[in-house]
């Protein structure tokens, strides 16, 4: 590729911004990547082929979008900022298999989007530099809607990526770790310094790959209940699991029953939420359900 034409450089990015008189909106979390090496790592992690599709969320001025269009057989970029649409259309003009949608991805019917844009490809990956302020809602929407995804490769705030990938027992492990790992196998690809963006964000970033599982990591009888019970164990992280569960399910009730249910699940009441594995949460939710605890 001719490096002079790459968008992900300080010079080219500034040229495009100046040409269109573009100004950054803090409210949209706009930070444009200006390092082609990081861009290469993102694209390589997505493992795209001409038989695959790529959905990008928050494409900005199209640095990543252009690379996706060079690798994938179908590309759709969803951008919420109307001011960026003309820039993206110009960038993607040489790529008839790439399109831009002006929309809010949190409001889009993604199943319909997949039917319209990705019916001709075998697999689809989400590849994006996500706005940090909406990272978790976007990732959870992608997972909860059970889309036909191969993987999700995103650049997000480093601390959030570490929480997604964290094993049980540490300070990073929590409800987000469990929710993501229920659906995916997470893998941290690289840490990204704040210096490779215009403008520079206040935090470091990381690229993470979420490989979608063929089926959830654990079997649960009621998925909504499983997540509700699990989240109740993290309401106050310093409290034991028994105290958190008592506040949610047994306030003013029978403490003996809670102890019996925890014993049946093989879980010590003195443990804290961050020490339980996905399987232990699945077992606990099944025990509670069978006892009629709601």
SS3 content of the chain, % helix, strand, coil (to 5): 45, 20, 35
Of the three residues 167, 186, 212, the one that is the final residue of a domain is 212
Answer yes or no: are the C-beta atoms of 170 and 195 closer than 8 Å: no
- d(C-alpha 286, C-alpha 292), whole Å: 10
Of the three residues 168, 188, 212, the one that is the final residue of a domain is 212
Q: How far is CA 155 from CA 52, 200, 224, in A?
A: 20, 14, 28
Annotated binding site: 31, 33, 58, 79, 104, 129
Domain with 283 in it: 223-290
Q: For residue range 243-293, what is the model confidence (pLDDT) as tens digits? A: 999 999 987 667 789 999 999 999 999 999 999 999 999 999 999 999 999
Flag whether the pTM goes above 0.85.
Answer: yes
Question: Are residue 56 and residue 188 in the same domain, yes or no?
Answer: yes
Annotated binding site for S-adenosyl-L-methionine: 31, 33, 58, 79, 104, 129
Give the H/E segment covering residue 113: helix 110-117
Question: Are residue 111 and residue 166 in the same domain, yes or no?
Answer: yes
Reference 150, options 190, 105, 185; nearest CA is: 185
> How confident is the model at residue 5, as a pLDDT?
61
Domain total of the chain: 2
Q: For residue range 171-201, what is the model confidence (pLDDT) as tens digits? A: 999 999 999 999 999 999 999 999 999 888 8
Answer yes or no: are the C-beta atoms of 282 and 253 closer than 8 Å: no
In a domain, 158, yes or no: yes
Reference 164, options 191, 142, 148, 182; nearest CA is: 182
CATH number of the structural domain spanning residue 66: 3.40.50.150
> How confident is the model at residue 9, as a pLDDT?
84
Question: Are residue 200 and residue 246 in the same domain, yes or no?
Answer: no
The count of residues in the chain is: 294
> How confident is the model at residue 2, as a pLDDT?
38
Indicate whether 3 pLDDT > 50: no
In a domain, 218, yes or no: no
CATH number of the structural domain spanning residue 250: 1.10.8.100
Biggest CA-to-CA distance, the chain: 71
In a domain, 256, yes or no: yes
In a domain, 217, yes or no: no
């Amino acid at each position: 590729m001719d490096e002079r034409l790459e968008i992900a450089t300080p010079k080219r990015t500034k040229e495009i911004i100046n040409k269109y008189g573009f100004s950054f909106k803090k409210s949209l979390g706009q930070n444009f990547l200006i390092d082609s090496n990081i861009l290469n790592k993102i694209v390589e992690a997505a493992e795209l082929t001409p038989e695959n599709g790529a959905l990008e969320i928050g494409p900005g001025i199209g640095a990543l979008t252009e690379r996706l269009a060079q690798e994938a057989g179908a590309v759709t970029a969803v951008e919420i900022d109307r001011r960026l649409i003309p820039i993206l259309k110009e960038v993607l003009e040489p790529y008839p298999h790439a399109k831009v949608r002006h929309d809010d991805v949190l409001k889009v019917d993604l199943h319909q989007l997949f039917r319209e844009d990705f019916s001709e490809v075998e697999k689809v990956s989400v590849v994006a530099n996500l706005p940090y302020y909406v990272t978790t809602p976007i990732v959870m929407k992608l997972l909860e809607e059970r889309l036909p995804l191969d993987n999700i490769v995103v650049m997000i705030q480093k601390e959030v990526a570490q929480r997604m990938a964290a094993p049980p027992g540490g300070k990073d492990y929590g409800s987000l770790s469990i929710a993501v790992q229920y659906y995916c196998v997470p893998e941290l690809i690289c840490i990204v310094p704040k210096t490779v963006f215009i403008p520079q964000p206040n935090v470091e970033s990381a690229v993470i790959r979420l490989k979608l599982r063929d089926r959830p990591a654990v079997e649960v009888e009621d998925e909504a209940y499983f997540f509700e019970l699990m989240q109740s164990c993290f309401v106050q992280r310093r409290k034991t699991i028994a105290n958190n569960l008592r506040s949610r399910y047994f306030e003013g009730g029978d403490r003996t029953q809670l102890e019996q249910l925890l014993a049946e699940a093989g879980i010590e009441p003195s443990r804290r939420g961050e020490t339980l594995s996905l399987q232990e949460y699945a077992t606990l939710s099944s025990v509670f359900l069978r006892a009629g605890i709601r």
